[in-house]
Amino acid sequence: MKKEVAKKLLKLVNVKSNTDLLEFYAKERVQILYRQLEQLVNIDEIRQMQGAIKEIKRLTTIRDEVVEKAKDKYD
């Protein structure tokens, strides 16, 4: 993530209710994706779904990532 993007996202992640809602959404979405993953048999589709789950889970740590990158001196 670029420092400029992180600085813009600070407005989103510095409001606790926003991060709480993002975490709620991420957890709900991951549950849906796990149910879909259980039905897959094609290894390529399984890997793709695992990647989607990993990216959605990143939403639960977005605040930490944004704050760290926004203050990073070595962009």
| Within-domain flag for 34 | yes
pLDDT at position 11: 92
| Within-domain flag for 52 | yes
pLDDT at position 37: 96
Percent of the chain at pLDDT > 70 equals 96
Q: How many domains does the chain have?
A: 1
Segment 9-23, tens digit of pLDDT? 999 999 999 999 999
| Within-domain flag for 49 | yes
The answer on pLDDT for 75 being more than 60 is no
Instruction: Give the CA angle between residues 51, 53, 30 to the nearest 5°.
Output: 165
| Within-domain flag for 75 | no
* CA 39 to chain CA centroid, nearest Å: 23
| Within-domain flag for 40 | yes
Q: Could you tell me the residue range of the domain that residue 26 belongs to? A: 3-70
Segment 42-64, tens digit of pLDDT? 999 999 999 999 999 999 999 99
Which residue in 74, 57, 23 sits closest to 49, CA to CA? 57
